[in-house]
Each structure stands twice: as C-alpha cells, then as structure tokens.
Structure 1
C-alpha cells in the first residue's frame, strides 16, 4: 500500500471534484436524448454545483485501499446521484417545500412538481445502473456493493431517516432519538460512500471495516451537527439554500436541543473521534482525516 500523494489537500479536493464532474457529464443521459425535459432536468440539478462530499469520501477511501480509477469514478457518480435525488425530493412541496438548492431554483420551481418527482426516481435508478456497469471488479464484490447502496438509500437508511424527520416536526426529541434519525438520514449515505470507495480497490477485512464504521459514524453525526449550526448562523447566499428553515419549520436539531456552543463542541469532539478511528491505518488514511476536518470546519 503506497502513501497518499504529496498533493496539497485543497488541490486534491479540486482535482477530485473536477473528475467527478466529468464522470457525471458522461454517466448521465444526454439532454438531447428523449425524453428531453427529464434528461435536461436531471443534468440541471446534478451538474455544476454541490460540495461533492460523498464522492470525496469515496475517493479518500479509494486512496487508502488502492481503488481503480474507473471503478472509483462510477462509485462516486452513483453515490452523488442518490444524494441529488434525495435533495430533489426533499425540496418538493410535499416534504420540506424549498425553492433554493445549490444557489439556484429547485427542480420543482425551475420545471414543475411532476418533473421533479421523475428526476428523483430516474437518478436513483441511474445510480444502480452506473454501479452495475463496473466491469473491473469481482462479480461477488460488485453484488455486495449494490446491496450496500440499496440498504443505505432505503427504509433502513436514508429514506427511513427522512421519514422519521418528517414525523418529528413540532416534537421534542431526545438527543439519542435525534442521533438515531441522523445516523439513518445522513450517516448511512456517508458511510456507504466510504465503504464503496474502499471496495473499489479490494476486499475489506473485518477489523478494517470496524475502523471505517467508527470513522463513518463520527463524520456522519458531525456533518449533521455542523449543518444545524450553519442553518442557525449562516445566510442563504452562503449556504446556497434557505437559511433558518429548520427553526422556521419547528424541526428538532442539535442546536435546539444542545444550544449553539455545545453543538460546536460536539462537532469538534466528533472530528477527534474520526481521527482516532483511523489510527490503525497510520498515515495512509491522511485524506480521510483531512475530509473529517473539512466536514467539521466548513462554512457552507
């Protein structure tokens, strides 16, 4: 196993983001393909925006486990498509009813509600096609990867967490209940991004999986804690989405339960836990450590 390249982290992030953008350009159906409006809207919402945290995690894990470039590109594309589909549906009037995402009108605003619904459906299906079309990995591992992505995206993962979130509006959750919700809603897809990036390189041993799970749990919660802090402190122009919406919608958040300062302290504690989880990998896991720092220290 070779050490990560000496490329500065910021340059590496920009390089990966550019690679992911090029991959998505290719992996999404062309706008000129019938049905034109659906494919145009899929590209509108997926391309040219977002932090690409999930693809970055896949590439960071791939750097640790020797991920093959073509397989990593498809893993990154698949997890980003699932993420974008969830945002499109989350923004619809029947759910969070938001009109701004990644600094531009949401899909149901730019197009219409029916198109937004179909965009989400099509992106979810496209993600599995993209993952299934990897032709450089052992078939059994590829099937396992498809299963992991389905579990992370489904009712036992992201969708289940979103359902709990919707049912919790106006309610007082305990900290444990809030943590459980976000481990599903946000943490499951962050975890699977890390695991799939590793599997794009080689099989993962049980001790390695345990370490990656501990890391993923810490960054999954940290991501949401920071999101809650930013929702309470940043403006819409900085966030690229409507600021203060959680409080306006009377949603339980870490800030509403713990307060602002304690939420910031929790995010920093989780960052340290993420670093500690990677100790068995030594310096080889530097990219994943840097990504934990990015997740906690981001401003948007």
Structure 2
C-alpha cells in the first residue's frame, strides 16, 4: 500500500479533489484512508469474465498474470458502479505536473492509450525497434476508458483470459500486446500524443529530456506529466543514463521513505545481470553494437 499512498499524494499536488480507487487482491479488508477507496476482490464477482479469470490465474505460480488480467475487469466494474470515466494507473507511476487534461480527453474519446515512444530508427537502434514490435506499441501501465469503452475493456478481458503469455512467435506479450488492436477494432480510441506522459527507460531516446530556462522539457515542448518508475527506469537514472529525471526520483525516494520503504536499498541489491524485464534486456543486450552502428550511421549521413 505504500506505493499507492505515494501515487495519490503525487496526484494531489496538482489536483486536490482526488479519490483513488484501489483494488486489493491479497487482502479482503477494505479500510479507506484519505484520498484512497479500497475495493476487495470479492467486489468483482458479478463483473463479466471475473470468475473465468479467477479460476484460471488466481492460483498459478505467477501472481502477476492474475493482477494484470484484472485491469479491464476492475475498469468495467467501476464503470458499472457510478463512474463515467476511469483512468487505470500502475502503482509505480508518479505524477509531477497537472494531469487533468487526461480526464478531459475522455469527454470525446472512449479509450486512451499511451505509446511506449521507442527509438524506431532501424539503423541507429534496431534493438529498440524490435522491442516495441514484440512487446507492444502501447504501455499497459496506463489506460483510460469512459462508459462507451466498456466493450473494448470486455474484449481485452476476454483476451487476457484466452492467453497471458510471452511468446514472440505468436505475437503475445502478457496483457499488453493486445492493446495494439484497440485503435483498429474499436471506435474513438485516442492515442495520447503528449510525450510527457509515461516517461520511462523505454522512451529515453525518442522523448529527449532537456533543460530549457531552468525547466525540464521533453523534445523542447512538453512538460513531464508522470513518470513510470519501473526497475529499469530507476536503474537508468541512478546510472546517470537519464540524469535529468534524478530530481523526481529523489522526490519519489523521499516520499516512499516516509512510508517506511527504502527504494534505494532494494535497487542496490538487485542483480542487474538477472533482470528479466523485456525492455531492459532489449535495451542493454547489445549496447556496444548499437553505439557503433549509431556512429557509423551519423558518419554516413555526413558523407
């Protein structure tokens, strides 16, 4: 729960009237606290596909599959119980500027998606291109839906029930790769073009961070809105590969410390060689080769 408290506190920095709806999977006690409203897993009993997903994933060796498959279920549960617009946010997100425009987008759009924004230059950085083709165009750590998006969420839940696997030969990547289909199959799916949304290690090249007049800007235009503090994002910041996000990481570390979470300690003891994150592996596997190719590509451009 500490990460959830830090998340809602970051939202309140720009929007005072925030009540974050939280699905609790491993504990049926639902004690509300300021800015948070907890829902037990039993609340989802009557939501379509919940029972099927629970039967398939609740007792497997990988608890992540159950949690990930419940995203569209929880979204639809909220839409069926008084909410006309829902933004799903992973608990390791951290908001640093006003995000109210995202809810406004759901006035005219049914679904919101945020791209990974990888480097798609096949000569300069083919690993990044291959990573997004295998892992998905959009990040499943953020998705928005209004009441008219329920059919899309129900389809996503059905797909998660069908298969929750990482099999590149089948074009599968857990719950995430299915999102690529939404803009084609469902109406009014909006792809968020604001490149300050979902900043992370996977968009370090395409969403260039710069200091302009003392303020951080993304590609000279966008203010950072929220940062996805995945393990790889944190490691990249600590390794000075993404140093302009360091002040925000410092804020995040301090906020978690107030909740008795020592984030640095957990990262420092992490065996980076054993990181199984898809994007970490794709980004770091052939770093030297990629640097050489970039150098040759830039050289060729000058000839």
Q: Normalization by structure 1: what TM-score?
A: 0.30
Q: Normalization by structure 2: what TM-score?
A: 0.29
Structure ranking higher in strand proportion = 2
Bigger-Rg structure (1/2): 2
